Chains A and B, each alone.
Chain A
């Protein structure tokens, strides 16, 4: 399979990438690691006419202590996230989730920002960042703005990013090395989660992100409310599928996904 023809442009900086996006508008697409976009292009489900490669914008690859939060450059590869000592100490959940994305080959190329900007409800990191109440920093032609993770995911592969904006940084709280649980259920090694759950404790509250339970990554709001009112893990987990709208596919029916969500949330809450 070969992608439809396009013009390849390498951007050496965030500013250069945004200038390309302004020039080409909707016809252009940003390429980071390419682990999601290139398969879509090979299937001709995505057919950008200009591909702006930001993969070598090195100054967007970092993990930094920014005082009250940890700042992760959008082009930091999954491999660099999963082996980062600062994240292991200060926000262990991001490190642990990145370590289970795809396989070694995928983690050598794929980036945290690419995963977020792609907005796939089946991806692990967006749900984890949602559970952490992360903030995304995006840069456009008129400057930068911050978007809360809870406001970022609008629909299937649709986000709050404008066509001329580049995600530059992900900000996560200092949630510590522990205090989280990640349950990823799939039937084949390296596969996307049939359903996944990330539970994270930060600032005294437990928050729960759901993977593959709707058209966007989701928060299990009803579970969080039940926990806040003192419900046990088992009782809170019974609410896991409330408000979710999972789809049926080859791997699972709607009912099975809802069942998995309840079981996995219970396991996560018991483990945390």
Chain B
């Protein structure tokens, strides 16, 4: 079936099987391999993308369910050469070790900060509970998200 959606601002349309998962549509049909497949069982969150601005696990959504929606992946976050504040904060606060969980972690954080712009540390820890870091680098990940929140608040002022 033909499935179209807007991905990172660009119209995409591809002929794929009905059973195609969103993550495979993004990686294989759109060629956007920034989104990772981790556990493939909707536990780890490495495949997290934004669907109409909200975090979802793209391994647990059919591409067909996303027909006509707006998807943002890690490739679509930066504004030209200007990183998104969450990306910048992960860079500055060493919010990654091996980096495999990072794309999903960043997307989950962007969605979280959209819903809770001024989070406590507990809000952040609960807010990213759907994302696993096997390097167990949570300390710096939480610090990065909190720093990004500060940065985004001061920019918004």
Interface residues of A (CB under 8 A from B): 1-8, 10, 31, 34-35, 38-39, 42, 51, 53, 55, 79, 102-106, 108-109, 189-190
Q: How many angstroms between the C-alpha atoms of A5 and B65 in the bound complex?
A: 16
In contact, B65 and A108 (Cβ under 8 angstroms): no
Instruction: Choose from B19, B40, B56, B112 the contact partner of A4 (Cβ within 8 Å).
Output: B19
Shortest beta-carbon distance from A17 to chain B in Å: 15
User: What residues on B are CB-neighbors of A102 within 8 Å?
Assistant: 130
In contact, B41 and A42 (Cβ under 8 angstroms): yes
Q: How many angstroms between the C-alpha atoms of A190 and B48 in the bound complex?
A: 15
Q: How many angstroms between the C-alpha atoms of A6 and B18 in the bound complex?
A: 7
Q: How many angstroms between the C-alpha atoms of A159 and B131 in the bound complex?
A: 32
In contact, B55 and A108 (Cβ under 8 angstroms): yes
Q: Does B88 contact A (CB under 8 A)?
A: no
Rank and list the top 8 A-B pairs by shortest CB-CB distance, nearest first.
A103-B130, A189-B129, A8-B18, A108-B54, A8-B64, A3-B19, A105-B57, A190-B129
Instruction: Choose from A1, A55, A103 the contact partner of B65 (Cβ within 8 Å).
Output: A55
With A105-B45, A105-B108 already in contact, the answer to whether A2 and B18 are too (CB < 8 A) is no
User: What residues on A are CB-neighbors of B130 within 8 Å?
Assistant: 102-106, 190
In contact, B60 and A39 (Cβ under 8 angstroms): yes
Shortest beta-carbon distance from A247 to chain B in Å: 20
In contact, A1 and B129 (Cβ under 8 angstroms): no
Interface centre among A6, A38, A53, A103 (most CB of B within 10 A): A103
Shortest beta-carbon distance from B14 to chain A in Å: 15
In contact, B42 and A39 (Cβ under 8 angstroms): yes
User: What residues on A are CB-neighbors of B65 within 8 Å?
Assistant: 31, 34, 53, 55
User: What residues on B are CB-neighbors of A105 within 8 Å?
Assistant: 42, 45, 48, 55-57, 108, 130
Q: How many angstroms between the C-alpha atoms of A1 and B59 in the bound complex?
A: 9
Q: Does B17 contact A (CB under 8 A)?
A: yes
Q: Does B6 contact A (CB under 8 A)?
A: no
Q: How many angstroms between the C-alpha atoms of A102 and B61 in the bound complex?
A: 15
User: What residues on A are CB-neighbors of B112 within 8 Å?
Assistant: 104
Q: How many angstroms between the C-alpha atoms of A53 and B61 in the bound complex?
A: 12
In contact, B64 and A1 (Cβ under 8 angstroms): no
In contact, A2 and B21 (Cβ under 8 angstroms): yes
User: What residues on B are CB-neighbors of A7 within 8 Å?
Assistant: 18
Q: How many angstroms between the C-alpha atoms of A260 and B130 in the bound complex?
A: 25
In contact, B43 and A190 (Cβ under 8 angstroms): yes
The A-contacting residues of B in range 24-61, CB under 8 angstroms, are: 24, 40-43, 45, 48, 51, 54-57, 59-61
Shortest beta-carbon distance from A26 to chain B in Å: 19
In contact, A34 and B61 (Cβ under 8 angstroms): yes
